[in-house]
Amino acid sequence: MAGNRTLTIIKPDAFGAGKAGKIIAHLEAGGFRVVAARVMHLSTAQAEEFYGVHRERPFFRSLVTFMTSGKCMPMILEKADAVAELRRAIGSTDPAEAAEGTVRKLYAESKERNAIHASDSDENATRESRFFFAEAGTL
Q: Alpha-carbon distance 90 to 130, whole Å?
A: 22
Q: For residue 21, give every residue at least 6 positions away whose Cβ sits within 8 Å of its Cβ, in sequence order, or none.
A: none
* Binds ligand CMP by CB under 6 A, chosen from 68, 93, 124, 126: 93
State in angstroms the smallest separation of the CB of 1 from ligand CMP. 24
| 77 makes contact with ligand CMP (CB under 6 A) | no
| 33, 59, 61, 101: residue in contact with ligand CMP (rule CB under 6 A) | 59
Q: Are 132 and 74 in contact (CB under 8 A)?
A: yes
CA dist., res. 44 & res. 61, Å (int): 10
Selected catalytic residue, list 26, 41, 54, 117 = 117
Task: Report in angstroms how near the CB of residue 138 gets to ligand CMP at its nearest.
Answer: 26
Give the residue with the Cβ less far from ligand CMP, 54 or 55: 54
Q: Which of 5, 26, 79, 117 binds ligand CMP (CB under 6 A)?
A: 117
The nearest distance, CB 39 to ligand CMP, in angstroms, is: 17
Nearest 5°: the CA angle 83, 33, 22 is 95
H or E element in which residue 24 lies: helix 20-29
The residues that are catalytic are: 117
